[in-house]
Amino acid sequence: MANGSKSDGPDGDGTNVPPGGTDLPDRLRDLDARLNKFQAETGRDRSKGYVKEGAAYGRALKHVSEFVGGTMAGLLLGWLTDLATGWFPLGLVTGLILGFVTGFWNIYKSSLRSGGS
Amino acid sequence: MAASPLEQFQIKTLVPLGEVGGVPLNFTNSALFMTLAVGGIVLFFAQATRTASVVPGRLQTVAEMIYGLVADTVRSAAGKEGMQYFPFVFSLFCFVLTLNLFGMIPGGFTVTSHIIVTFALAALVFLTVLAIGLSKHGLHFLDLFVPQGAPPGLKQFLIVIELISFLSRPISLSVRLFANMLAGHIAMKVFAGFIVALLGAGAFAVLAPLPFLIIVALTALEFLVAGLQAYVFTILTCIYLNDALHPGH
């Protein structure tokens, strides 16, 4: 079917003009714009809200595991140092203290990350 | 006698396969559920993409949503270069999510409530990140441990802390998933035990619906946690991948 000249031929006197005009590329562009607007209003917002809600719930558990992870890594490292060198309590104690510091450092860093994005 | 709330985590041998170097090698309920999970994922995606069309059906929509979720996460957390590791992240997400959800089937086994499983997954992520970082940036990858703008005395100390912090990643990653799944399933079993105990306690049986209501709420919460923890595992994998790809920030 030819587009340009016969566009409002069979349908009658051009009362049935779709939004955005009769030109096909124009109408496609219009549809695109409306779809984008619709997605911006509904889809995006909804998914963002869901993620935000989940992130709020997970943040507390995240900080705890960051702290536990740091402490345990320090402890493990100290214990391995003890095993390797035979300075029994010294490595364990130093590792534990460094682990505590690391735990707080981890919390600090992860809260920066979640606050930033 | 009421069953212990920990009984559900027991590993049971289903098919003994002999020994390798003195270590028993068995097909256990844990292995069964992992196999079921992998089979389920493959079946699901094969079915969902079998009749791929422009206007997706129900299964295809779900598959596309999972793809979109993981792809968005990878792109936003690790940038465009991160997308070359998308298959790895996607497999990880699907595996953890399916294992978590299979654990919600009554009588099922929650593989992710065993720390050795979650630690193996986290160690896989850790070693992958280390390999990518070292192969892409060589020794420059170690710049990750040097904090910028710290005064000289503090800098050496912070390097040690950053090093321990880096080593703590697989631990915190695995502990988070394992603790969430373990605690949730224990809580559900404990409250379920309350129902039985109250029903058997004469006049106190009128209180039995209370723990039942809590169980309903906990089950919903556990479904949320199952999805959320799989997502958290994925997003942290992406953040660590980002460190490997752009160590200088």
Beta bridge partners of B19: B24
Residue B161 is encoded by which pair of tokens? 């802390």
Q: Residue B8 falls within a domain, yes or no?
A: no
Model confidence at A56, pLDDT cuts 50, 70, 90, reads: low
Question: CB A102 to CB B232 under 8 A?
Answer: no
Q: How many CA atoms lie within 13 A of B113 on its CB side?
A: 26
What's the CA angle centered on B191, arms B185 and B197, to 5 degrees? 135
Q: Residue A82 falls within a domain, yes or no?
A: yes
Instruction: Say whether residue B154 is in contact with chain A using an 8 A CB cutoff.
Output: no
- Count the domains in chain A: 1
- Give the chain A residue nearest B172 (alpha carbons): A69
Q: Residue B1 falls within a domain, yes or no?
A: no
Among B50, B233, B220, residue whose Cα is nearest residue B125: B233
pTM exceeding 0.90:
no
A35-45, pLDDT tens digit by residue? 887 777 655 54
Q: Residue B101 falls within a domain, yes or no?
A: yes
ipTM of the complex: 0.73
Range of the domain at A90: 60-116
A81-91, pLDDT tens digit by residue? 999 998 888 99
Q: Which residues of chain B have pLDDT under 70?
A: 1-3, 248-249
Q: Which pLDDT score, from 0 to 100, does residue A116 have?
A: 44
For strand B13-20 and strand B23-28, is the pairing parallel, antiparallel, or unpaired?
Answer: antiparallel
CB B144 within 8 A of CB B138: no
Instruction: Say whether residue B228 is in contact with chain A using an 8 A CB cutoff.
Output: yes
- Count the domains in chain B: 1
Report residue B190: phi and psi, to 5°. Answer: -65, -45
Q: Residue A111 falls within a domain, yes or no?
A: yes
Q: Residue B68 falls within a domain, yes or no?
A: yes
Please state, in angstroms and rounded to a whole number, the distance separating the CA atoms of residues B47 and B142: 45
Question: CB A77 to CB B164 under 8 A?
Answer: yes
Range of the domain at B52: 27-245
Report the residue of A77, A94, A97, A102 to disrupt the B interface, i.e. the one with the largest count of B CBs within 10 Å: A102
Q: Residue A75 falls within a domain, yes or no?
A: yes
